[in-house]
């Protein structure tokens, strides 16, 4: 009897908000399959391409690199069409993730690429039944982490990000997540709460996903994290959940910069307190 797949899961959030940690915790569940960031929609929807209905010229090259080098499944490229239409490529992408999930004996796949938050409207159009998880983290910690990692790995992040660009990305992500927070197929997760009470928050997420919470999700997630992390981009997940409250913000920025950042995120952090 052919196994039936559940509605897929998408995990969103500003980069450096704990998306890989939450992905690793969820992907440890025996029913959930997940893979390194596909960046499918990030590369598939280039500037103005969504309106034209065509894929970005970068997508084919990225898919080749992803399936050949990152997950070692080059045969999956055969499922993608020759006609460069975005909707056709998206249907093929969904089919490939379905195949990979069934191969693992799992019943649902979870896709995590932070940049896909910017393509959320299109994803919902193509997959209206999908369930969406948003993870939100305190702005000062995110800005400090983004600033540090993009200066340490500028090639992987395309350039070092200045403070204003880090703030822009965080604010943009928060605005999009809050815009969709009223929908029944969306759930917002607070990173600070997750690291303090991982079991309680994971139980809440599992209820949302209609799967049973299992203690192994916390005990064994480090093994999955090694597969999902990217060392070259500075994306590492510790084998032990660390409490929030890093001093990175105070170490990286001077007093003027810190005050500028705190003033810029004040109203947004008030919104986060309502989660």
**Using one digit for the tens of pLDDT, what is the confidence trace for 239-260?**
677 765 568 899 999 999 999 9
CB distance 133 to 61 below 8 Å? no
CB distance 146 to 24 below 8 Å? no
Quickly state the pLDDT bin for 92 (edges 50, 70, 90). very high
9-28+109-272: CATH topology is Rossmann fold (3.40.50)
pLDDT at residue number 135 = 97
> Is 15 or 227 the better-scoring residue by pLDDT?
15
Q: Is 184 exposed, middle or buried (0-12, 13-18, 19+ CB in 10 A)?
A: exposed
| Both structure tokens of 232 | 């070259």
Quickly state the pLDDT bin for 223 (edges 50, 70, 90). confident
Quickly state the pLDDT bin for 1 (edges 50, 70, 90). very low
Q: Which residue has the tokens 């799967």?
A: 211
Element (DSSP H or E) covering residue 9: strand 9-12
Q: Which residue has the tokens 């999700």?
A: 217
| Both structure tokens of 58 | 């970068």
Radius of gyration of the chain measured on its C-alpha atoms = 18
> Is 41 or 2 the better-scoring residue by pLDDT?
41
> 104 phi and psi, to 5 degrees?
-85, -5
pTM value is 0.92
Whole-number Å distance between alpha carbons of 186 and 9 = 10
pLDDT at residue number 222 = 84
Quickly state the pLDDT bin for 53 (edges 50, 70, 90). confident
Least confident piece of the model among 52-56, 80-84, 254-258: 52-56
> Is 52 or 212 the better-scoring residue by pLDDT?
212
Whole-number Å distance between alpha carbons of 174 and 269 = 9
Q: Is the pLDDT of residue 150 over 90?
A: yes
CB distance 102 to 5 below 8 Å? yes
> Is 223 or 192 the better-scoring residue by pLDDT?
192
Q: What is the mean pLDDT of residues 77-103?
A: 96
SS3 label, residue 258: helix
Q: Is the pLDDT of residue 181 over 90?
A: yes
SS3 label, residue 240: coil
Element (DSSP H or E) covering residue 135: strand 131-136
Question: Sheet harboring 131-136: ordered strands across?
Answer: 32-34, 108-112, 9-12, 131-136, 186-190
Domain boundaries, given as residue ranges, for the chain: 9-28+109-272, 32-106
pLDDT at residue number 89 = 97
Q: Parallel, antiparallel, or unpaired for β 108-112 and 186-190?
A: unpaired
Element (DSSP H or E) covering residue 266: helix 255-272
Mean pLDDT computed over every residue of the chain = 90
Q: What is the mean pLDDT of residues 173-177?
A: 94
The conformation of residue 161, written as its DSSP 8-state character, comes to: P
pLDDT at residue number 85 = 93
């Amino acid at each position: 009897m052919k196994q039936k797949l559940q509605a897929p899961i998408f995990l969103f959030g500003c980069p450096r908000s704990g998306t890989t940690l939450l992905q690793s915790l969820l992907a440890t569940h025996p029913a959930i399959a997940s893979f390194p960031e596909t960046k499918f929609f990030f590369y598939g929807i280039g500037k103005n391409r969504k309106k034209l209905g065509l894929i970005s010229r970068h997508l084919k090259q990225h898919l080749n690199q992803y399936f050949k080098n990152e997950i070692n499944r080059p045969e999956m490229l055969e499922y993608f069409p020759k006609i460069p239409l975005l909707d056709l490529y998206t249907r093929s992408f969904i089919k490939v993730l379905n195949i990979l999930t069934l191969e693992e004996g799992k019943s649902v796949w979870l896709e995590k690429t932070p940049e896909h938050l910017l393509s959320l409207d299109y994803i919902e159009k193509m997959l209206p039944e999908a369930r969406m998880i948003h993870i939100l983290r305190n702005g000062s910690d995110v800005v400090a982490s983004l600033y540090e990692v993009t200066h340490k790995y500028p090639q992987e992040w395309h350039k070092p990000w200045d403070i204003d660009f880090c703030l822009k990305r965080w604010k943009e992500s928060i605005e999009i997540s809050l815009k969709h927070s009223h929908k029944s197929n969306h759930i917002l997760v607070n990173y600070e709460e997750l690291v303090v009470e991982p079991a309680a928050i994971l139980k809440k997420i599992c209820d949302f996903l209609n799967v049973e919470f299992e203690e192994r999700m916390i005990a064994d997630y480090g093994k999955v994290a090694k597969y999902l992390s990217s060392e070259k981009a500075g994306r590492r997940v510790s084998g032990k959940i660390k409490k929030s409250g890093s001093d990175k913000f105070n170490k990286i920025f001077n007093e003027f910069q810190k005050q500028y950042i705190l003033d810029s995120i004040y109203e947004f952090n008030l919104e986060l307190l309502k989660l």
